Structure 1
Amino acid sequence: MNKEDFLIKDRIIKGITNDGHFRISVIKTTEVVQLAAQKHELSLLNKVVLGRALTGTMLLASSLKGEERLRLRMEGKGPIGVLVTEANSVGEIRGFVQNPDAAIDPKTQDIGDGLGLGLLTVTKTLYNEADQISGTVELTDGTVSPDIAYYLAQSEQIPSAIHLDVKLDDSGDVTSAGGVLIQALPDAPENKILTLQENLRQMKPAGERFLQGDYIDTIMHDIGRPYTVKELSRGPVHFFCRCTKDRFLSALQMLGKDDLESISDEGQELVCQFCNEKYHISQQEIKGILREKQIQMN
């Protein structure tokens, strides 16, 4: 695959400065956000907010191993309500919002009012850990980037800078999306941290950079100047959910006999929150589960 093919595909690149002091990740998530907007029929507000959250979650999950997972949950008093995103290091991202048609009055409200006052919780499911690891902070802004930066500083105590961007055209369609994450490694000098943070502040939003034809490599090296950045890895990212009808049938098997009997006279349509995929469970399938439950009880 040549460079032009890479340009039209969502992917993430990770690098480290040659002095070993900083890790820099750049991600393009245009297709991810477009698909999320389509699957969930998102409002303009949610295209931006959920799009940023999906992008940020993938940046955070990129430091995990294998199929370790990271979940981000933002719950506020604004019209969006609850937002949940999830990703793993192999590039699978998914997410949803409680109120996909949520909107704000652009004349009197800012985008941060979509979530409003609330909490951000990041939960990791890691290898060799019996329990999940979670950290919770207050939402500082509701626009996602500052909230994740605050979480990293407070909960993980890692000096970081993060920039997340979703661009819409005049019709409200997603034209580009992506982000950048800079994280200081142990013993990184403070003056170098300030240099990279200033680079990020002066950089055009990631969405604009992609629209003007810049590639993730170019952005990574621009952010790292005047230091040389060595590529560590790169890989595709995509909106992907592992829900299946079999998983929903397994969930129904966890119901009690009375609950199964209450729905056994008709089929059920079950919907996956994360991807909005619909699965029809027939009356015969429900009665089959009920028969198995009755056999187990005898």
Structure 2
Amino acid sequence: MTSAFLLFLLYIPVIYGTASNSLSDCNAVAAKFDTTCGGIAASSVTAMTGVNVTCSSGFTSTTCPGTYSGSVCVFSHKLCVTCSGSSPVTIRVQSNGLPRYCPNVPVTLVGTTIDFTVNFNPDVNINSPVHNPSSASALYGIVCNISSQMTVPSVSNFVLNSGSASVSTLAGVSIDGVSIENVNSANNVDPFYPPDVTLTERVDACLGHPNFQSVYHYHMASGCAVNRPSGSISSCTGTTACNTNVSNYGISLFNNNRNLTVIGVAKDGHVIYGPYYSSGSEVNDMSLFLQ
């Protein structure tokens, strides 16, 4: 068995991951986003046409990210995802970071400007990792570091377009335009299961919350991006299932989408999927090993 395995490695010294990255593939992914631009890239996020979101409760004159009148907050959701080129195909993501629903945020919320272009779903060589830690401490410095995704692999040809805000801690953008931030909190620990429970992040029932810059974002997949809620939503602590086990709750938000579901695009151009395979089975450590 060992000899056969070694022989196999001798004949395949380099392993590549070939992705589906044609223009039609890119357009199919772009169509999953809740866009407001009519399929044509805007000159800027500021100039982009948006869709108004009206929230009759949950905001004040100081926390509303738009206009506030008579206890009603109205803000604009802006999102544009477009594809172009042939070899390579590129995808441009433009968003003001605000969802198309009313989040539960008891503090100030503001829009942002996300605008980047990147090669769509670039092929990867898994024998040339972006990081190559040689010790446990080096691995810790990568995994437990909110800035670990600051640098995008060169194969992605990432370009931050003029006028965009910093995306140093950005992992990707959800199909509802909300930022998907690094899996770590600002304390460089798991936001939901930190070693010190006092560092647990406070989120709403859609698993989103504002950062220090008052920008709403996710740290994990949110089913609200796929199944948009209506009306007011509760906090996670005010939602029994979320407060009891946020991990199981997060997966349960995809109960109506037990298939391979596009939930966003990563900053390196790769597609982000939800917690289920096309077979309907849940993604977990064992299933990843068996793929």
TM-score for both structures, normalised by structure 1? 0.24
Identify, as 1 or 2, the structure richer in helix: 1
Structure with larger Rg: 1
With a CA cutoff of 8 Å and minimum separation of 6, indicate the structure with the bigger relative contact order.
Answer: 1
Greater share of residues in strand: 1
